[in-house]
Structure 1
Amino acid sequence: MESKAFLERLRKFDAYPKTLEDFRVKTFGGATVTIVSAILMFILFVSELNFYLTKEVQPELFVDISRGNIKMKINLNITFNNLPCAFLSIDAMDISGENQIDVEHNLYKQRLKLTGEKVEDEPEKHEELGDKSEELVEGVKKELDPNRCESCYGAETDDKKCCNNCEEVRDQYRKKGWAFKATDSIIQCKREGWADKMEKQKNEGCNVFGYIEVNKVGGNFHMAPGKSFQQSHVHVHDLQAMGGEKMNMSHTVHHLSFGEEYPGIVNPLDGLHQIDQKICAIQSKLT
């Protein structure tokens, strides 16, 4: 009895008394209100969840005083419609005195036909024509002596007595101020097929993509035809190997950004298509 009395007293605390089933009336209007309310609650739930999961970007401008080994990436993807990959060099320089001549790391070149189709399925790493350490003898590859000392063809200097590949011969010629033209008389260039490669890619385009790492200081980077080098504190591009031909620098910037990517950023040069008007005018006169 005492337990029943306790339960009765406890039931009096119910602030939400229920009506009997006989007094409950279910209508179409009430069903409509219930469905509409459920839909609105679901929409509000999804909206609030989406807002909670969305990243909020807050732009902030400040002076970056970090120096040392911290580098900034320049991400790029540019197509030169009428400039072969073998003719193109990429350089970066800044006011701190660091010059990256013919940047090799983290950049790739994709050879293209003039119609825009790929010449090869796989892009090649952007690097200089270097020592292959092998040569073809009657169709068979033969390893070269790594300790050999080949001629610089009269361009030797006190600090450079040996030229074991075509690029080293070219560098020595530039230091002497001599014009360079790869002929069969230069064994290193003939072995590496330097002239054949230049001739083979003559009527092609090139897609350059990847990234460059630079210091966080004022500077510039550029892409230009010809082998680049520094001489007497002057930045020079050697165009002797191109035979004096006019270069068509028409290009399309697919992507160009600085630093790490983050959502919502707008890169103003993306999609830019630039036509070399001088070359087009010359071609139209010839036709």
Structure 2
Amino acid sequence: MEGLFGKLRNLDAYPKINEDFYSRTLSGGIITIVSSIVMFLLFISELRLYLHAVTETKLIVDTSRGETLRINFDVTFPALSCSMLSLDAMDISGEEHLDVRHDIIKKRLDSHGNIIESRQDGIGSPKIEKPLQRHGGRLEHNETYCGSCYGAEVSDEDCCNSCEEVREAYRKKGWGLSDPEIIDQCKREGFLQRIKDEDGEGCNIYGFLEVKKVAGNFHFAPGKSFQQSNMHVHDLLPFQKESFNISHKINRLSFGEYFPGAINPLDGVQWVQHAPYGMYQYFIKVVPTVYTDIRGRTIQSNQFSVTEHFRSDDIGRLQYLPGVFFFYDLSPIKVTFTEGHVSFLHFLTNVCAIVGGVFTVSGILDSFIYHGQRAIKKKIEIGKFS
């Protein structure tokens, strides 16, 4: 039996060193403490990675069709009043949204940026008190008011009961409203006086647009827009101004819903106009993005990159429409972010790698220091360093 055990001992691939041959050193103790601390810190770091979600990123071809694109914006114009400012959107499919008012809020600002008034619509109109009828008489008894559109009626039944409705009828005809004072509704509502009262004010406009998921643009510009000879123009005559200051600050601009880690490069961007005329343009490349969190909830959104350009009219007249234009195009590549946890087996493998790696490096370092000390000690003993 003892012979069998002896043969087994000869097969031991892990021979042991007798404790009598152990030599404990100060340097070895220091290295042991330091390596233990390093292993502990690396273990904590790996544990945090295991407990927290990691995000996997992929690029795929965007094959989605028939979707809409939501544009969220919050822009401040410190030198352009709300009565002047209008919002238009159009795309390459030919769809147009002129003088957008739904889902839009305007805030009048004084010269210091303080809010004067917040309203959802444009200039608005006061309550009608015995207004002028189309036939020239005043509204009496229980008659239904029907104001003249001043030549812009499509049919005899059309009515324009406010200055805004007259301007809208003119816009549909492709006409500009040169003198609002000759329009009874505008005169009654004090249209020009309201513009004069708001002179020197600023405007904060915010809200969102729902547009087709195709390339297009939206822009903020003074005056009501209309089509004339297949051209997009704005009626600037009622404001009787020689120049328009389109200095602006983009408080927020995003395409789609917010998702964790989203960065919108135009948030907080500010630009000040120094030239008397011109338009400011942003060229945006929108990248569709899908974010799936650890619970499986999916957010369909977008990221974007942007370049900027200012077109100045140095010749001293309005060559370009003054305003801030956002031209956007869609990338054919979609980015997907997927949250997930590291598997326990992967965590365990990393922990073993940390322990083994630190232990090996510490052993090599300890051996180098120990043998170096012994070599120096021997040389001292034979008198080479005496």
Q: Work out which of the residue numbers 111, 115, 132 in structure 1 matches 2:112.
A: 115
Matches within 5 A, 1:165-180: 165-174=162-171, 175=173, 177=175, 179-180=177-178
Contact conserved, 2:81 with 2:203, CA < 8 A, in 1?
yes
TM-score using structure 1 length:
0.69
SS at match of 1:189: helix
One-letter code aligned to 2:244: M
CA shift at 1:108, angstroms? 1.3
Match of 2:159 in 1: 162
Contact conserved, 1:135 with 1:143, CA < 8 A, in 2?
no
Match of 1:278 in 2: 275
Match of 2:119 in 1: 124
Contact conserved, 1:78 with 1:253, CA < 8 A, in 2?
yes
Q: Does 1:181 align with 2:179?
A: yes
TM-score using structure 2 length:
0.52
Alpha carbons of structure 1 residues 228 and 200: separation in structure 2 relative to 1, 3 Å: same
Match of 1:104 in 2: 101
Contact conserved, 1:135 with 1:144, CA < 8 A, in 2?
no
Matches within 5 A, 1:122-161: 123-125=118-120, 127-129=121-123, 134-136=127-129, 147-158=144-155, 161=158
Q: Does 1:248 align with 2:241?
A: no
Alpha-carbon distance in 1 for matches of 2:270, 2:256: 23
More strand per residue: 2
Match of 2:218 in 1: 221
Alpha carbons of structure 1 residues 55 and 112: separation in structure 2 relative to 1, 3 Å: farther
Alpha carbons of structure 1 residues 146 and 53: separation in structure 2 relative to 1, 3 Å: farther
CA shift at 1:83, angstroms? 0.4
Alpha-carbon distance in 2 for matches of 1:228, 1:135: 26
CA shift at 1:225, angstroms? 0.8
One-letter code aligned to 1:274: W
CA deviations 1:154-181 (Å, max 9, x no partner) are: 4434476422221222234452745432
Alpha-carbon distance in 2 for matches of 1:145, 1:71: 46
Alpha-carbon distance in 2 for matches of 1:235, 1:159: 28
SS at match of 2:147: coil
Match of 2:206 in 1: 209
CA deviations 1:54-82 (Å, max 9, x no partner) are: 46262534324321xx3211111111110
One-letter code aligned to 1:66: R
Gaps of 5+ in 2: 1-32, 131-138, 278-386
Contact conserved, 2:99 with 2:225, CA < 8 A, in 1?
yes
Tell me how large the CA RMSD over aligned residues is: 3.4
Match of 1:26 in 2: none
Match of 1:84 in 2: 81
Gaps of 5+ in 1: 1-32, 281-287
Alpha-carbon distance in 2 for matches of 1:267, 1:144: 58
Instruction: Name whichever of 162-171 and 240-249 sits farther off.
Output: 162-171
Alpha carbons of structure 1 residues 50 and 148: separation in structure 2 relative to 1, 3 Å: farther
Contact conserved, 2:89 with 2:97, CA < 8 A, in 1?
yes
Alpha carbons of structure 1 residues 51 and 87: separation in structure 2 relative to 1, 3 Å: farther
For these two proteins, the number of residue pairs brought into alignment is 234
